[in-house]
Structure 1
Amino acid sequence: MKNKLFSFLILVLVLGCAEKGRVDDKEVTDLDDFKSYHLDLDLPKENFIDMVESVELMQFEETDESLLSTIRKINRLDDGFVFHTDKKMGTDEHMTIYFFDENGNFKNKINRQGQGPEEYGSIESLWIESGLVTVYSMPKSVIYRYTPEGDFVDSRKLPDQLRVGDIRPYKDGYVAEMNYLPINDTSYYKFAKLDKDLKLEKAFLKYDNAPDEMPWFIAYSTVIPYQDGVRLFRVFSDTIYAYTNDKLAPLVHFDFKENWFWADKPEPTSEVWQKVEAENKAWTIGMSIGQKYIYADALIGYSHWEYFLIDRMTGKVKRMGMPKGKSVSEEFYYLGWEEDRLMFSVTTADVPNILSALDENQINYREGTTLEKIESSENPVLVWVKFK
């Protein structure tokens, strides 16, 4: 039963959450006080398309070197994008890192997956640091750095007693989310601050009951750049934290009232997983915080996702009915906010259904992208959505 549930969890997090909030812009400072929002599962649904003011589309160039599927862990560069994909999970292709310019033209790709000292075994975290491609690989707890051409620069291993789920640079050190992994094999904390040598400086939010011994591999980042610090999230949590100026504070709370599965439950255990389907409550959340809006989704039992758009200025919450497409996943993959627009990865097969519901004056194409090019390619399309 445990293995079955764990396999299902990996599947739904990969398919439903994708990479959350990778390219969020700076939020408005006066909105950064802690706030709680009620995500009511009984709210009437509003059609997603009816909430759209305009969209902009960009096709990722399809070449023999750049055949893509679902985009994951996307990073916005000054002159484009870097990411890896869900293509052929469990194979070398899943470990390939792609570079595209700001108009979707393919630049290059690198793949240093392997078991050698200069190779990563997996990609849990991906970011650009001092112009270098940086990969954190959880199995060996190693941070690798490469040039954009794929040449190995260096690697650093975390201390043996410290293994983290996600990690990002912060000032002259790093901030990490622990992903139910212990510190020194005994103490369990949610987050940690490491110095420049990757040694533990501080640990935050200790919990008493040791969770299930298995860490949860998820498809989205839980440590996200945020203003002068980072935003911290954690799977199976309803609260987002901000770590700024060496202080940790709650930022946003998603309140599902009696429909939150973990309200009266301990940390994840094998016994608890057997109740997820039966209780059919919200139990895992994805989110992205923008200047004006927060986009959030929640998995309800094992049955379906619920989607919400929160106005940070007014506190108003809208429950959204998302469009269903022709693709296997039948979902958008949202990637984060750029200023006041939310970025999605959409399959080519789904684009006509979206565009047919909009007026021509609501549709824009990035330089080099046309509807004809989109329809002739199998690569995913980036869609920036501005809400009314």
Structure 2
Amino acid sequence: MKPAHTIILLFLLTIGLNAQTAPKFEHFKIDLNAPKINFFDAIEHVEIIRLEETDNSLLSSIEWYFKTPNGIAVPIRYQKPFRIALFDKNGNYQNTINRFGEGLNEYLDISSASFINGTIELFSGSSRILQRYTESGKLIETIKTKYDSHIWGGQMIPYEQGYILHQ
């Protein structure tokens, strides 16, 4: 290649690289010398709800919960059978979503669960399914997910018109 061509090529390459938009970074300042606030002073309201204890609703531990318009749903992911206990706003036991198994409309695990668009959504990464339930725990539908088999979906999070899989 002639030296003139090489110089022109390098010049064009340099111009092309300079035309790229630099990534936008957001910065947040943390003032280490700011006055300290007592954690309890920052909380406006604390409500303790006693959950009814029945043979169907005994919980060994609570990792997380989510609210529904009628009350509280508590996924039980670490004690078989994996299930979701449903309580009303006063903590009274209502029902349990329990389709743990390997059959039709059953799941092997509960990777994530939430209340979205009027339904309880349960995602099973091991079964690769998304199930939708009514607030009372009745199965509405089971949807086989179609993401690549090399991807492990730890959680399925709603995003715009679809979902994001995240480990």
- Measured against the shorter chain, the TM-score band is 0.5 to 0.7
| Residue equivalent to 2:83 | 96
Unmatched tracts of structure 2, length 5 or more: 1-25
1:123 match: 110
Q: Structure 1: which amino acid aligns with 2:163? A: V
* AA of the residue aligned to 2:141: D
Structure with bigger gyration radius: 2
Question: Runs of 5+ in structure 1 lacking a partner?
Answer: 1-33, 180-388
Give yes or no for the alignment of 1:175 onto 2:163.
yes
Assess, with a 3 A threshold, how the Cα gap between structure 1 residues 57 and 37 changes in structure 2: closer, same or farther.
farther
Could you tell me how far apart the structure 2 residues matched to 1:135 and 1:72 are? 15
Tell me the TM-score normalised to structure 1 length.
0.31
Q: Which residue of 2 aligns with 1:201?
A: none
Deviation string for 1:113-140 (max 9, x for gaps)? 1001210111111123443332111113
Q: Which has the higher contact order (CA 8 A, sep 6+)?
A: 1
Q: Secondary structure at the match of 1:58?
A: coil
Q: Aligned AA for 1:165?
A: G
Q: Distance in 2 between the 1:39 and 1:136 partners?
A: 40
| Contact 1:73-1:125 within 8 A present in 2 as well | no
Change in 2 beyond 3 A, CA 1:112/1:66:
same
More strand as a share of residues: 1
- The normalised TM-score by structure 2 is 0.65
CA contact (8 A) 1:97 1:110 kept: yes
CA distance in 2, matches of 1:68, 1:134: 20
RMSD: 3.1
Letter in 1 for 2:50: Q
The aligned amino acid for 1:131 is G
Could you say which residue in structure 2 is the equivalent of 1:60? 51
- SS of structure 1 residue aligned to 2:158: strand
User: Which amino acid is 1:91 matched to?
Assistant: K
Report the Cα distance in structure 2 between the residues aligned to 1:38 and 1:104, rounded to whole angstroms: 39
